[in-house]
Structure 1
């Protein structure tokens, strides 16, 4: 554990739904219509990425509109300034694709759950032992769900969230293997941020929600 800072659990809606949707839009103005469909379909946790210009600036208004229905996190956090701005914007949780103890300490100090990324046992255990809410196995598409069993041999309590290349079939495998949640992007969102069919998006979202356990239970 990092100093005297206690591990923070994943936000309740995220933990109970076992499903995080990674929304990577071309611009932040495109978030709202897609989030409305996702939340209507039962999605209860959305990670907005900092690779989308204007994300942090749009978070307060998105929280005002959707924050009563779903956890709104900020992802692709890679430095301390981004972390501070994300916390100040009101993010329910933070996600980073890297293993960085300073980011973990910053999130714990701010009282905001952080899910740091990693690929190797050393990276993942470093974050978990440092107080991460869960660890993001990234890119999960390069591995299989059996990786959780491998990790829990030496690290029996580790909480894993696979991300990157997780489709409906592999999501089922990861959850069956004991993943705390699955993080999904393209296989669920498809072309929604490129003007695609939002009714089709709703149906894909419902399929993932049903797979993960029917959303909030």
Structure 2
């Protein structure tokens, strides 16, 4: 898949991490029904590979579907086998290079300028600024865009509705959102409430235009 184009078009990555396999699957499908096109299933959730495989079967071959918390070569291989067509890592490491060798685009976790340079060298498609709220928030993103003005940053970590607006104003290409969007849906909570939160985040996305960027490689 063309991850950079998808991030520019959709600007929101939903992060599903749950302790109930069925609820996690239904969370993925509900998000897609509501128009959240980019969904990442974290490998730290219960039977995440099974969730990815079931979601792939339900969504068909062309829907974007990511695997998150990809740390190792085996993680990348397992995610690819389960049907993920992009991966997300919490850091720059083995998972990035292994995924690229498999032909999977990578949203690579970075925090520092050194991380950014390393992720670019390894072929990351976009840069997950993580954990964004502890890195310094939108102000830190603005600072990074000084030396890296055209790179695609995706802040993740503590991104609620106000923070999403602030990150977009600071130049984020997209945002990754876990609990402020998912709530307890992936553990059996209300899907009606999930739909409402999805609509709220999609409304924020619709407010702003994506910046011009180039792939981080």
Q: Tell me the TM-score normalized by structure 2.
A: 0.87
Structure 1 residue 70: deviation in Å? 4.1
2:201 maps to 1:208: yes
2:18 maps to 1:37: no
* Stretches of 4+ aligned residues off by more than 6 angstroms: none
Residue of 49, 56, 59 corresponding to 1:63: 56
Query: Residues of 2 paired with 1:99 and 1:200: CA distance?
Result: 34
CA contact (8 A) 2:18 2:24 kept: yes
2:123 maps to 1:136: no
Let me know the Cα RMSD of the aligned residues: 2.1
Query: Residues of 1 paired with 2:205 and 2:61: CA distance?
Result: 21
The 5-angstrom pairing of residues 3-18 of structure 1 reads 9-10=2-3, 12-18=5-11
Residue of 145, 168, 189 corresponding to 2:161: 168
CA contact (8 A) 2:67 2:87 kept: yes
2:150 maps to 1:157: yes
Structure 1 residue 149: deviation in Å? 2.2
Structure 1 residue 54: deviation in Å? 1.4
Question: Is there any run of 5+ residues in structure 2 with no aligned partner, and where?
Answer: 208-217
Structure 1 residue 138: deviation in Å? 0.7
Residue of 101, 109, 112 corresponding to 1:109: 101
- Write out per-residue CA displacement over residues 85-135 of structure 1, whole angstroms, 9 at most, x where no aligned residue: 1112221210110111x4322222211111111211211221124321111
Structure 1 residue 166: deviation in Å? 0.5
Q: Tell me the TM-score normalized by structure 1.
A: 0.87
Which residue matches 2:90?
Answer: 97
Structure 1 residue 67: deviation in Å? 4.1
Query: Residues of 2 paired with 1:207 and 1:78: CA distance?
Result: 31
